[in-house]
Structure 1
């Protein structure tokens, strides 16, 4: 029997990966004049957050929509809080305890009593059963791959059952599945409704919304008591530079992204402190599958391998990321906490720091590419020219692309940049209407490479070009990888030997195909106002992933903060 309950942890990032908005710095915070240090950001109990979004917010609080702009954790809660930055016991939320049977085919969850939805209706086990049945009935929403059955046995108990061992489903099912109210969601189309007036059980409710900013207000009837931070105001700015300006002016309290002199935030930006966590892995995402409709030179694995070999990662780290990034494995297993899981058959367990243009040339020429008089390779009349999609205002990623373009040109590869709003960038990735895109691969529900592999390399989570791929935007598909993932899903996490065999299979395949070209492991840095709020995550107490855009970790942090002096 496996029984668990318990407490919280913290967040991350390297560029910025999840929200939407942009506006002039002069619109930063109407009605709040800046003062000295970090004390000017509105009322003492209002937290001003900048997620790095570019472009106006488009209202959407549907937690299952790929274009949702917030609400996971803050408005919509899961059964437990689960983070991937520590391995501590899960923190009870709507659930209070859970128990697996011995073979991992049944999971019983006890629910919290006395919880109400923000519209006053009672929360019951029927809402939980409805949510998971909704996922089963709507595959496009079922990003977690739930494939069991669910039953509410009474108002405070639900039982999940599978016809196979499902231990690895635990973190996603328990911690990454927002529960929605049956009395509202039974009458909507969850694939299209944007939820302008979201109803949840969480610590916050939507207060007001404008395209340039929106505010969440503390839920005074929250089951755990109203949070001390009474309002969270999300601003729309024009990019990283605007975020730095706001930090200098003291008009924001929390942002995640690069700032000048990043090693000395507490002295350069009085009243603020920073934390850097190496976890999200920066990659050049590729629309890799010609079979699924991708077009361009990047559909050739040799091109992807050549780009990998031609990168000078040390230079990219220095020029774009202020040396806050670290090494990356082509297997996408973290070299810090998952190094022992890297297959011994992988010849190069860590991506090289220096460029290797000779190897890049050998790979390309062996695949039939020939260098033209302009120094750029071509094949069958097609020039080896690639376009990378990036969000306007993401200065670190833009600098990284500019740096890589120079490196790749020396290797005979033409790399170009295309900047767009976050909404356009997200749409291109989801529908496969891109060649390359720079982004970071998240670690998934828990600290285990299975979750990253299942998310980004599973055929079940991709789609033909033109249709939205929920997670596997590279359109990668390999039956051996799918089979290995299926075995891992059915294997007890304590069976290290069986799991390693499957990791070996997956890693061999993805290193050879390289649909996501590894760049660096992002040192995700967040800057936050320590003069105004206490309780931020630290290296010694990493209770949640401390990136402002990381849900539901950000909600756990909002709940943990208190205005200074309280």
Structure 2
């Protein structure tokens, strides 16, 4: 589930006003008839505070809105707010302990009553009420108070300086709910308010007409929506159930639906469906990266319980950046994308590929496979095959690796290709795949978890929550290395450790302003990449499909995919 945490402190990623979502297609509200959407996982509620599921959050986003939303580039757009508060415009306090939002004037709930700052205060109280079981309570972490300064002004105060204060009431998972409707739904009463949870009153482009849990939702255009001529559709049929392949067919082959979500199927099958000519496959990229982790500790089984720990000492050859660079340059990332991901992947050389303001270009040479260069790097460093068995030696140690990942057809195909490319540079690879439930499990007694890392190299995908990378980049601090003392918990999987990197983590935590933060984040990414303790392979995206008659689609992996549904429209056939 995407967790949108925070973004910016300056104007580089801030869009102003509603111009950022205008599509230029004007006309009467509801002019384009019905829109048919299918999410093969059916929503069970329309209250995102009572579910962390993507299907619930996204279906609710047609109705409920927040102060700011993240667009398809990851930029924070003002939504219910008139502008994004920053230190520069006075909306964020100089000491970073408060943020003050101003609502746009004249916004009404769909029942015709006025949206006020009191609704924002209530939303905070609702989610943090004792016994409420709010699924999105983390968005209010560090919030000391939410105050209605006046009807249009909301002041959020934090219990400590917060360089990125764009969490509470920001993004599709933290919308404002109507105080009048949910007044009797506080705390333990929250799940009992079935009418409110299944039919929330909102400020968004649509209203709920009928909700059948785990089945179908009927929406109609909100006649009190603030933008003239929006939404273009008079009604929305939101169908749940089935599977990804059936959902894809319903858009790409039969034309029964206009939009299908989360099409996790073979890219060649998806391409065959798309060739029917009725629809288009679209991808929203966030921060997910399929990568190789190169163990910086020695995983030799002969070391017993010390293997892959600091007590084992350094890996015999994978701590050498020249070796890592050779392994990286031998890989054809574009081919990995073609056979395993299709439209859902892009070759990448960064562990942090997005948002764009944070993406480094210093490592882009890896995008071009170069077997000759990889061999030259190892030759020049003196790592030769002295016994003619096809495997180079590194200070007498044969350069053979145990390369593991989870059991998955795409991953096994990638492993086979990478093994072949490495054989061409004199590096041997034994391939191993482990059931995903075990590999990604947390059993400290299992020898097969990715955290325990009893192998030389392992491959999987990871990402970070939201669009602010501060916490994610802190994963590679020295003290976050998994160990027996931590029950093998910790995010620094490859056991990278550099005091200079730790210093950058500390510096980022106290730095405000997008440009200054981006500079530090790029330094962190480049330090990791140039250590070659991580070799990024594929920037993975979420895949959906829409009818060719549907216009205005700007799929976002940072927010609800339906974030700009108010501007969708039907094109002429």
Contact 1:331 1:511 in 2 (8 A): no
Residue-by-residue CA offset, 1:435-458 (whole Å, 9 max, x unaligned):
65643636943xxxxx23533544
1:507 aligns with 2:546: no
| Structure 2 residue aligned with 1:85 | 73
- Paired residue for 1:17? none
Q: Which residue does 1:6 correspond to in 2?
A: 17
Matches of residues 119-198 of structure 1 in structure 2 within 5 Å? 124-130=119-125, 146-153=141-148, 156-162=152-158, 166-170=162-166, 174-175=170-171, 177-179=173-175, 183=183, 184=185, 186-187=187-188
Distance of 2:283 and 2:37 partners within structure 1: 20
Distance 1:147 1:334, change over 3 A: same
1:17-416 matched pairs, under 5 angstroms: 45-50=34-39, 63=48, 68-75=53-60, 77-83=65-71, 85=73, 87=75, 90-93=77-80, 95-99=81-85, 100-101=91-92, 103=94, 104-111=96-103, 114-115=108-109, 124-130=119-125, 146-153=141-148, 156-162=152-158, 166-170=162-166, 174-175=170-171, 177-179=173-175, 183=183, 184=185, 186-187=187-188, 200=200, 201=202, 203=206, 207-210=211-214, 214-218=215-219, 224=225, 228=233, 229-237=235-243, 243=248, 247-255=252-260, 259-260=267-268, 268-275=275-282, 280=287, 282-284=289-291, 305=324, 308=328, 311-322=331-342, 325-330=345-350, 332-333=352-353, 341=360, 348-354=363-369, 384-389=401-406, 399-404=413-418, 406-407=420-421, 411-416=427-432
Hey, what's the Cα distance between the residues in 2 that align with 1:140 and 1:303? 42
SS in structure 2 of the partner of residue 319 of structure 1: helix
The answer for the alignment partner of 1:555 in structure 2 is 562
Contact 1:129 1:158 in 2 (8 A): no
Aligned pairs, how many?
481
Query: Residue 30 of structure 1 corresponds to which residue in structure 2?
Result: none
Alpha-carbon shift at residue 527 of structure 1 (Å): 2.9
C-alpha distance in 2 between matches for 1:64 and 1:406:
49
Normalising by structure 1, report the TM-score: 0.61
Unaligned runs of 5+ in 1: 11-42, 446-450, 538-543
What do residues 155-193 of structure 1 show as CA deviations (whole Å, max 9, x unaligned)?
A: 653212347664533378633651376753522799xxx
Tell me the CA shift for residue 71 of structure 1: 2.4
Structure 2 CA distance for partners of 1:453 and 1:494, relative to 1, 3 Å: closer
Match of 1:540 in 2: none
The 2-side partners of 1:359 and 1:65 are apart by 57
Q: Which has the higher contact order (CA 8 A, sep 6+)?
A: 1
1:535 to 542, 551, 555: 551
Q: Give unmatched runs, 5+ long, in structure 2.
A: 1-8, 22-31, 86-90, 298-304
- The equivalences for 1:485-524 within 5 A come to 485-493=505-513, 496=516, 500-501=519-520, 503-505=522-524, 507-509=526-528, 511-512=530-531, 514=533, 517-522=535-540
> Could you say if the C-alpha distance between residues 72 and 333 of structure 1 is closer, same or farther in structure 2, counting changes exceeding 3 Å?
same
Alignment of 1:377-456 (within 5 A): 384-389=401-406, 399-404=413-418, 406-407=420-421, 411-417=427-433, 428=441, 433-434=449-450, 436=458, 438-439=460-461, 441=463, 444-445=466-467, 451-455=468-472
Q: Identify the residue that residue 18 of structure 1 maps to in structure 2.
A: none
Shift of the 458–249 alpha-carbon distance from structure 1 to 2, 3 Å rule, reads same
Larger Rg: 2
Query: What is the deviation of 1:85?
Result: 0.8
Q: Structure 1 residue 108: deviation in Å?
A: 0.7
Structure 1 pair 277/121, CA: closer, same or farther in 2 (3 Å)? closer
